[in-house]
Homo-oligomer: A and B are copies of this chain.
Amino acid sequence: MALIVQKYGGTSVGSIERIQTVAKKVKAFADTGNKLVVSVSAMSGETNRMTALAQEIQDTPSLREMDVLLTTGEQVSISLLSMALQQLGCDAISYMGSQIRITTDSEHGKARIKSIDTQRIHTSLDEGKVVVVAGFQGVDEQGNITTLGRGGSDTTAVALAAALKADECQIYTDVDGVYTTDPRIEPNARKMKSVSYEEMLEMASLGSKVLQIRSVEFASKYKVPLRVLSSLIDNPTGTLITSEENIMEQAVISGIAHNKDEAKLSLIGVPDEPGIAHKILKPISEANIEVDMIVQSVSAREGLTNFAFTVHRSDFDKAQKILKDVCGNLNAKAVQSDSTVVKVSLVGIGMRSHAGIAAQMFEVLHQENVNIQMISTSEIKISVVIDEKYLELAVRSLHSAFELDKE
């Protein structure tokens, strides 16, 4: 008998009919003798509806009250799913975050889980009940309702699995697993049977939308086997995200991630002197703009250098404006900006022990005449910034060159 935590997202519980479908899946799973804890999100659309209500009142509503408002969404879902299970003859009980003391810090809107009191869940499981838990929500030590922020329902599921020492945490979503790359770009993209936490973390941070980074971090930290599966098909197998040592045959390269939300800014002809990077980036970070890749050219002549970095495209205008001021202050020659770049990344734990992956990657891109504008590497990934018109070409040629379509 296994103890499984399952998580169903907003689309999966987006209507009464879908809730009934989820209930059937859960019941079938419980009927095979598993102990089940099910974490659910708000019905799709509800969070937006409530945010709109709040914004009719205040542009920036109180974060505390916003959390009180938004957590009603999951509260509705857990009660309806429990009823649907009971209607099928499957005993079930719902718990809000506050009822099982999903204790968080007091950062409303983006709280972090500190502990979960599992006693009540264990009691209900021992009574033969399916336990249905509201995702996304917690309670701080003063009893204020908190939310975990975007993707918080995934985090709830993983945290529950960690606290309960569950055998597996299953995240049901609208994709059926983690692919070697985006199947909309490369039809030969292959669903992976398993991938390591580290690779998944890199892919998530590089633009893969399958799982939120925090839930993968959590799973990695507590060694929770995490499975991504489709809620739309029967008997899905999905992709297992687990520790490196549990993956039998590790490929050199696991996947190719891409991120279209990039924009590049360059400061041309700045004096090449100590502290220059700090002088350029301080006003950017003070404006709460996150900087991703940074490249400072080797000083060419006249003691001048070029300095380039990428930001999220939504911050592009703001960053450009700031950089123009910086340009004046530092007596730099010009600001160059380009909001039509993308980032393409190779990810794979095998890189650690295989030299020459980067060279091979650059060679493939060179053969396709794709100009590389920036490069950034880590132990298990290589990212390049290229013109967005080459995105599909780059992904497909790399996918093929590294034989990712083959098992």
**A contacts, CB < 8 Å to B:** 16, 19-20, 50, 53-54, 56-58, 61-62, 64-66, 68-69, 71-72, 75-76, 78-80, 82-84, 86-87, 93-94, 96, 98-99, 120, 143-145
Contact = CB atoms under 8 A, between A and B. Distances in A.
Nearest to A17: B56
A62 B86 contact: yes
Contacts of A94: 64-65, 68
B83 A58 contact: yes
Contacts of A61: 83, 86
A233 B78 CA distance: 40
Nearest to A77: B69
Given A57-B87, A99-B143, A143-B99, A69 B62 contact: no
A47 B331 CA distance: 65
A68 B58 contact: no
Given A65-B86, A75-B75, A86-B65, A80 B96 contact: no
30 contacts: A16-B53, A16-B57, A20-B57, A53-B80, A54-B79, A57-B83, A58-B83, A58-B87, A62-B83, A62-B86, A64-B94, A65-B79, A65-B82, A65-B83, A66-B83, A68-B82, A68-B94, A68-B96, A69-B75, A69-B79, A69-B80, A71-B75, A72-B72, A72-B75, A75-B75, A96-B145, A98-B98, A99-B144, A99-B145, A120-B143
Contacts of A99: 143-145
B80 A57 contact: yes
A56 B76 CA distance: 14
Contacts of A75: 68-69, 71-72, 75
The main secondary structure of chain A at its interface with chain B is: helix
Residue among A16, A76, A79 with max Cβ neighbours from chain B (10 Å): A79
A80 B50 CA distance: 10
Contacts of A53: 16, 76, 80
10 closest A-B pairs by beta carbon, nearest first, are: A72-B72, A69-B79, A68-B79, A65-B79, A16-B56, A57-B83, A65-B82, A61-B83, A58-B87, A72-B75
A76 B53 CA distance: 10
A94 B58 CA distance: 16
Contacts of A58: 83-84, 86-87
A306 B20 CA distance: 55
B82 A78 contact: no
A247 to B, nearest CB: 41
Nearest to A143: B99
A387 B86 CA distance: 47
Residue among A16, A50, A57, A94 with max Cβ neighbours from chain B (10 Å): A57
A210 to B, nearest CB: 30
A62 B82 contact: yes
Contacts of A16: 53, 56-57
